[in-house]
Structure 1
Amino acid sequence: MRFSVIAISCAVAAATELRGSTVELPAIQDESASLISMNEAAVVFVGMCFMYALRGLGSPETATKGNMAGVIGMLVAIIFACFDPRFTHHSGVLAIICFVIAAVCGLWLSSKATMIVMPQMVAGFHASVGFAAVMVAYARYFDAQEMMNAGHLVETMIGIFFGAMTLTGSIVACGKLQGVIRSKALLLPFRHWINAGICLASILLTVWLCMVGKGTTTGMWIIIATTIICLYLGWALVMSIGGADMPVVVSMLNSYSGWTTVACGFMLSNTILIIAGSLIGSSGAILSYIMCKGMNRSFTSVILGGFGVEEGHTVEVTGTVTETNIDEVAEKMINGKSVIIVPGYGMAVARCQQTVAGIADCLRTHGVKVQFAIHPVAGRLPGHMNVLLAEANVPYDIVKEMDEVNPEFPSTDVSLVIGANDIVNPMAVEDLSSPIGGMPVLEVWKAKICVVMKRSMATGYSGIENPLFYKENTRMLFGNAHEKTQELLAALQGLAKEKKVTTADNASTPLLAEEKKPEPEKVKEYPPALKTIGVLDETMNSDETRVAIAPNVVSKFRDMGFAFVMERNCGEKASFPDRYYAVEGCKLVDTAEEVYKAADVIIKINTLTDQDFANLRRGQVVITYLWPAFNPELLKTLAAKGVTAMSVDAVPRITRAQKLDTLSSMANMGGYKAIIEAFHLLPRFAKPLTTAAGSVPAANVFIIGAGVAGLSAIGTARSIGALVTANDTRSVVKEQVESMGAKFAEVPYKEEGAGSGGYAKEMSEGFHKAQMQLYSQEVKKADVVVTTAQIPGKPAPLLITKEMVRSMRPGSVIVDLAAQQGGNCELTQKDKTFLDPESGVTIIGQTNLARFMPAQASELFSANMRFLFDQMKGAAGVDEALAQPDDVIGPIRCTYQGQVTWKPAARPAPPPAPKAPAAPKNDAPVAAEKKPQTAFSKWLNFFLVFVVVGACCAGIGASRSVALVDQMMSFVMAVIVGYFLVWGVDHALHTPLMSETNAISGIIVVGAMQQLSACGAFAQICAILGTFAAGFNIFGGFWITKRMLAMFHR
């Protein structure tokens, strides 16, 4: 890089001397054909260098070459800028001075900067590009000899708009990252209207400037006013964004700096500025899009700066926190087979990456498989954690991205989370209505043991409580990460020495080493049993395959003071033979009568039968599905018998009750199995295929209802390659559906369908008509239809008519998951799968799809039951919990001491009246008015794009400038090339990508160099400042990129 300083200075001086005789010639003198062709060739060469610079970042192995290509391209661009007719001997002297000072400052700062301050450095470089752009625009406008038409004035204003906005936005971002400006979002009242007003004012000022022209006092004040309001706009946009969103902000500012360079390129008629700026702009935009996906943000909101606060309900998480200590963690890690370490921003703040690398090295030395799991937005910059680990010499082949490592957590012995919170929050997948619902996260809780190293229980940037801290397999290690990682490394090294000594001793006496003396099994002691739970064989003379209690939870129940009496063979069909229960200490009996006689509590997975009624006795507790809204007489019978009945289908829809919600557990499995069964019967491929005989399109799946079952079905269908469309009356689920890769089919009628408790409510007649019109269109196109729509306490709504079924292609499949409540399809037959003879469509009406996965279904139901009794404080607390039920147990308890205690949940609010006063008259017209938009929306958007593009092209053609048309073509092609190049960049190299594009954006120095010979002191000062700022960005950006890339190794 020091060579580059000398090379640029010498090149500028030599080029100036070579042109000695041309210095006195007018600036508009024609260039020779040779010089023109060489200049065009240089543009092609520089563009290819910058493209390879981005392409090289596709792998750490080629990234260094890519950075060198960027340096070479920049050097060539600066050399050929010296042959511009406007570049004089005086300009050369000024340029050399600017480059030397900029090189000293840029190289010194980038050499001293640590990797922890990379986000601040990148934001600072963005600011220098924005400042340079504003200075170039000022130098051009205030150059007395420069003639500017309306087109040039528009380009100047665009350059000022993006440059000023990038300048202040980057300064604010840098301040927030450094901590000198508050991280919390500043939400000014009417901020969106103010920002929109500023954009409108900028347009009006641009029009006014074109009217008054250049060189007037009014024009000068217009330029100044535009700069001021755009500086404010940049400040306002970033101040309204919280610290959690800084990765997106920084990458978006990177995009803005690229568009700034493009604007300067058009203003100066410089093709290389246009190409470089387009590459940078598309790079930053795509990187922002990737970050938005990783943070569950709206890309459109990012562009508009309106994502300071996300909507969603606040959640209170309660439970027991299990703390651990260094010795226990070290022992589990070194004795495990696989460990995954998840670094977060807390590791960066504590600056303990070197110690963490030592932990990984120690474990790997002793045969433990160690991997690092990196979330796309971990830290304050895309790829921030990768750079820190590379600085600590962690081999990049053990650093895995989220999608690559998530499937490995279930087989991992220990997951170690260091200073991370939101990126490992299970609420993102367990509660899709939370503010972070749908955000991709690292599923660390699926490991056998999850150790979380944090200072406290404080929330992350999102402000959302983290249920991970309360999970049964989570261990909290509180303290400063720097100190705790050092203690953990010391403990691991101590255990490693002991292990090595033991191994050496055994090696000296191989016979003794091979001989293993059996250790007596430790018999676990349980507290005395206070109550007995009875489990029946529900598979006898039935299609049922599940069992109410699986063996894996028996010990947990016994810890709570319960004993078990089980009917023999109750778990056989679920692959749980009697010996599994015997080992856990369960008493096995031959008949159901014996179970009822010995048990205090009966747990069933199916509703009660006549035999059950005959065996139940007064004072006994029975827990099963009762569907109290549909079976009031059943409750009266149970109350008269003196039985305490609890209905597991009446679990309230509150956060504290989620873990004992059997409906959600079974619905999740039902949604998955619905897709599997449908494609088992569908005579075609799910995913698209290209074969020698031609291409096969993907199957179309239409899912009605986006609750737990619907979302599960969406995920399963997308995972096998199908195209999925979904609909729900609740508008709040639209983002959840789209975040899973499905298309949301919206009913063209304004009415909200969210009822109480998160369920859907009954809709108005007008909505139902519009809904049926939509469904008739979607069902006709679908190969598979899955319906899940249900309303609590009422029969399932009829949504698929027989006419719709018979409009489907023969061979199509309908799975009706609402068959238990009557079904959403008119032709559904409960618990039957049949082929409709008229349409050739197969209709699955099975009410219990979970029974096809008996082992997992039984384990999930058992876990829900364990949490139910945990809520009641175990066997000792059952009586008190039933006598004085809380907000969880109260809705579940249906009968108690001879009384029916169940009360219907509060009914959803009635459908809102249409906005116009005459409701009957307005219902139909509203739906009819929206109908054409639904039918032609795609074509309308298609034609609108063509009209806008055509209008732009016509405007360019009207300028009668062939050069402008050529520049526009360069712009379009560079944006397309940049788009494809950035998608190929390795995720680990996102931070170097930003610093590389930052350095390339310094190409704006070419425009500043052209203005060094401007007429007027103010214009020259602006050109000098612009040259210095761009040069500072070039030297600092390329050098810091080189430093980062040198750290990556296998």
Structure 2
Amino acid sequence: MSWLPTLIKACYFLAALLFILGLKRMSSPRTARGGIVWAGYGMLLAVLATFFLPDMHNRGLIIAAVLVGVAAAWWSGKRVAMTAMPQMVALYNGMGGGAAAAIGAVELIGYVRTLAILHPPGLPDTSPLRPESWAINALNPPPALVALSPVELALGVLGALIGAVSFSGSLIAFAKLQGWLDKRFVFPGQRAVNLLLLAGAVAVGLALIVGHASLPLIVVFFVLALLFGLMMTLPIGGADMPVVISLYNAFTGLAVAFEGFVLGNEAMIIAGMVVGAAGTLLTQLMAKAMNRSIGNVLFGSFGAAGGEAQAIEGAQKPVDAADAAVMMAYAERVVIVPGYGLAVAQAQHKVWEFAQLLIKRGVKVKFAIHPVAGRMPGHMNVLLAEAGVPYDLIADMDDINPEFAATDVALVIGANDVVNPLARTDPASPIYGMPILDVGDAKHVIVIKRGKGTGFAGIENALFYGDNTRMLYGDGQAAVGELVTELKAIEA
């Protein structure tokens, strides 16, 4: 069947188109769902086409693995709560990086075994079976032997390094988001240790590439790469989590693309490049929103700051639901700022119900979204879309900030760092320099918060002590439910 390879490549090409078109549709909330479906069909087509590759082996084991993976993903996807979506994304992303690293490991082990056959102990240096001469004459290798060309070997090592870092780093991110690890882990000389681990992994990788490959050296290589991913992620602060998730997403895509070159699989190359490019662009956008460079994200101590933080004067002033409802009922403009606390309380549906009641009274309502609100990029957009909030009511930070000065009431629900004025005024603050939502410019600010704690990142918020701020303490869903009840009572 000489036509079969051509058909497989055609399927890969069609899958690539579906990936790209799907990613394009994901750029808008209106078409994102369809984009995910399109990309899913592309992946299904690529997987099915791969089973018909002429040199495919162990199809039974592969099918069994696919069935186990699909069943686990279906079960977990149906059961995961919206509040746990960031850690699920981190975990799935880590699995992608781990798969790429595993492919690299198999290729390296196969390379070592091939070298053992081609260059057994005592083989004369002048033998044409020396690995150096065989690699140069790659178009005519010894029969029945498969090995990597120097370029393929280099790409395989690079993909394995990046994939291993993404795997261990994503697992740490998952554990932190799940609450299994402390929020930050910092020790003196941490940057130096991280750089030494990275330098060691790169040095061992170079040794593998130049012909000193052995099974013990492969083990050392992966141990160093995994440790670097772990140590790079341990200092993460809560405010930096969206940047880290998008960064590891880019790592996984690049690792898959490199391993695709090694395997000669067009579908892996294209899918990996698309994911890597999208993840890289998203990381740059997230870093810009956090006022961080990519180098700081990679090697900095996430969320670290030096010096003594500014003292915050004043006291938090409480308000009850009845008074808060009256303030918004007779306002002309209300801007609602959701944060991770809204996700924890699963209050998005109640918030939209409250917003609809305000809109019926003629109040102009908008939702303000900070680029890194929540625990992953787009977290708040997903929550609001789930509740049915129209897209034209959702505004990005750059668009909504000029409007706060003309806003009567800004209602903050579970947001902390993204509205904290210390990002502008306190050089010692971990979030200093980060662009924020200008909530404090509104005439009145109402903050729904469980208590007087400092939130996930452990940073005190000066907004809560402002003269125009009132605190509505309580669970997000319960507090908004009270606002709904009080607003209906006003209408009655």
**In the aligned structure 2, how far is the partner of 1:258 from the partner of 1:489?**
45
Say whether the 8 Å CA contact 1:412–1:448 is kept in structure 2: yes
2:304 pairs with 1:309: yes
Partner of 1:170: 170
**In the aligned structure 2, how far is the partner of 1:228 from the partner of 1:424?**
40
Alignment of 1:605-620 (within 5 A): none
Residues 463-504 of structure 1 show CA distances to partners (whole Å, capped at 9, x for unaligned) of 44333223222112223323222222211121122xxxxxxx
**In the aligned structure 2, how far is the partner of 1:350 from the partner of 1:301?**
33
Partner of 2:196: 197
Letter in 2 for 1:272: A
Partner of 1:396: 391
Partner of 2:39: 70
**In the aligned structure 2, how far is the partner of 1:142 from the partner of 1:398?**
55
CA gap of 1:256–1:414, structure 2 versus 1, over 3 A, is same
Partner of 2:263: 268
2:15 pairs with 1:46: yes
Letter in 1 for 2:220: A
Partner of 1:319: 314
Say whether the 8 Å CA contact 2:310–2:426 is kept in structure 1: no
Partner of 1:110: 77
CA gap of 1:432–1:182, structure 2 versus 1, over 3 A, is closer
Alignment of 1:975-990 (within 5 A): none
SS in 1 for 2:242: helix
CA gap of 1:136–1:417, structure 2 versus 1, over 3 A, is same
Letter in 2 for 1:96: I
Alignment of 1:206-245 (within 5 A): 206-212=205-211, 219-245=214-240
Alignment of 1:549-564 (within 5 A): none
Partner of 2:66: 99
**In the aligned structure 2, how far is the partner of 1:167 from the partner of 1:418?**
33
**In the aligned structure 2, how far is the partner of 1:318 from the partner of 1:132?**
52
Shift of 1:211: 4.4
2:438 pairs with 1:455: no
Alignment of 1:617-656 (within 5 A): none
Shift of 1:68: 2.6
2:357 pairs with 1:357: no
SS in 2 for 1:142: helix
Say whether the 8 Å CA contact 2:303–2:431 is kept in structure 1: no
Partner of 1:158: 158
Partner of 1:412: 407
CA gap of 1:344–1:452, structure 2 versus 1, over 3 A, is same
CA gap of 1:87–1:371, structure 2 versus 1, over 3 A, is same
Partner of 2:137: none
Letter in 1 for 2:66: F
Say whether the 8 Å CA contact 2:30–2:391 is kept in structure 1: no
Residues 985-1024 of structure 1 show CA distances to partners (whole Å, capped at 9, x for unaligned) of xxxxxxxxxxxxxxxxxxxxxxxxxxxxxxxxxxxxxxxx
Alignment of 1:693-704 (within 5 A): none
Alignment coverage as a number of residue pairs? 459
Letter in 2 for 1:192: R
CA gap of 1:462–1:115, structure 2 versus 1, over 3 A, is closer
Shift of 1:83: 2.9
Alignment of 1:360-439 (within 5 A): 360-430=355-425, 434-439=429-434
Say whether the 8 Å CA contact 1:373–1:401 is kept in structure 2: yes
Letter in 1 for 2:197: I
Partner of 1:700: none
Alignment of 1:1011-1022 (within 5 A): none
Shift of 1:305: 4.9
Partner of 2:148: 148
Shift of 1:253: 0.8
Shift of 1:260: 1.0
Say whether the 8 Å CA contact 2:232–2:298 is kept in structure 1: no
Partner of 1:61: 30
Shift of 1:328: 0.6
Unpaired runs of at least 5, structure 1: 1-18, 20-31, 498-1050
Alignment of 1:801-840 (within 5 A): none
Shift of 1:78: 1.8
Partner of 1:611: none
Say whether the 8 Å CA contact 1:316–1:465 is kept in structure 2: no
Say whether the 8 Å CA contact 1:238–1:305 is kept in structure 2: no
Letter in 2 for 1:75: L
2:267 pairs with 1:300: no
Letter in 2 for 1:198: L
CA gap of 1:328–1:210, structure 2 versus 1, over 3 A, is closer
**In the aligned structure 1, how far is the partner of 2:236 from the partner of 2:186?**
8
**In the aligned structure 2, how far is the partner of 1:429 from the partner of 1:84?**
58
Larger relative contact order (CA 8 Å, sep ≥ 6): 1
Letter in 2 for 1:151: V
Partner of 1:466: 461
Partner of 1:126: 93
Residues 340-376 of structure 1 show CA distances to partners (whole Å, capped at 9, x for unaligned) of 1111111122222222122112212222221111111
Alignment of 1:431-830 (within 5 A): 434-497=429-492
SS in 2 for 1:61: coil
Say whether the 8 Å CA contact 2:238–2:456 is kept in structure 1: yes
Shift of 1:147: 1.8
What RMSD in Å do the two structures reach over aligned CA positions?
2.2
**In the aligned structure 1, how far is the partner of 2:308 from the partner of 2:13?**
54
Residue identity over aligned pairs, in percent, reads 39
CA gap of 1:35–1:309, structure 2 versus 1, over 3 A, is same
Say whether the 8 Å CA contact 2:98–2:164 is kept in structure 1: yes
SS in 2 for 1:373: strand
CA gap of 1:431–1:141, structure 2 versus 1, over 3 A, is closer
Shift of 1:312: 5.5
Shift of 1:252: 0.7
Deviates more, 1:437-446 or 1:102-111: 437-446
Partner of 2:124: none
**In the aligned structure 2, how far is the partner of 1:355 from the partner of 1:192?**
45
**In the aligned structure 1, how far is the partner of 2:32 from the partner of 2:474?**
38
Say whether the 8 Å CA contact 1:115–1:391 is kept in structure 2: no
Say whether the 8 Å CA contact 1:155–1:267 is kept in structure 2: yes
CA gap of 1:429–1:301, structure 2 versus 1, over 3 A, is closer
Say whether the 8 Å CA contact 2:306–2:428 is kept in structure 1: no
Structure 1 length as normaliser, TM-score?
0.42
SS in 1 for 2:336: strand
Say whether the 8 Å CA contact 1:162–1:259 is kept in structure 2: yes
**In the aligned structure 2, how far is the partner of 1:139 from the partner of 1:288?**
30
Residues 613-668 of structure 1 show CA distances to partners (whole Å, capped at 9, x for unaligned) of xxxxxxxxxxxxxxxxxxxxxxxxxxxxxxxxxxxxxxxxxxxxxxxxxxxxxxxx
Residues 937-977 of structure 1 show CA distances to partners (whole Å, capped at 9, x for unaligned) of xxxxxxxxxxxxxxxxxxxxxxxxxxxxxxxxxxxxxxxxx
Letter in 1 for 2:28: S
Deviates more, 1:288-297 or 1:188-197: 188-197
Shift of 1:121: 0.7
**In the aligned structure 2, how far is the partner of 1:312 from the partner of 1:371?**
38
SS in 1 for 2:373: coil
Q: Write 1 or 2 for the structure with the bigger share of helix.
A: 2
**In the aligned structure 1, how far is the partner of 2:385 from the partner of 2:209?**
52
CA gap of 1:377–1:97, structure 2 versus 1, over 3 A, is same
Partner of 2:139: none
Larger Rg: 1
**In the aligned structure 1, how far is the partner of 2:237 from the partner of 2:425?**
24
CA gap of 1:176–1:434, structure 2 versus 1, over 3 A, is closer
**In the aligned structure 2, how far is the partner of 1:459 from the partner of 1:390?**
28
Shift of 1:227: 1.0
Structure 2 length as normaliser, TM-score?
0.87
Say whether the 8 Å CA contact 1:374–1:386 is kept in structure 2: yes
Letter in 2 for 1:100: L
SS in 1 for 2:365: strand
**In the aligned structure 2, how far is the partner of 1:434 from the partner of 1:195?**
24
Letter in 1 for 2:80: A
**In the aligned structure 2, how far is the partner of 1:399 from the partner of 1:207?**
49
**In the aligned structure 2, how far is the partner of 1:212 from the partner of 1:268?**
20
SS in 1 for 2:243: helix
**In the aligned structure 1, how far is the partner of 2:398 from the partner of 2:69?**
42
**In the aligned structure 2, how far is the partner of 1:244 from the partner of 1:113?**
23
Letter in 2 for 1:135: A
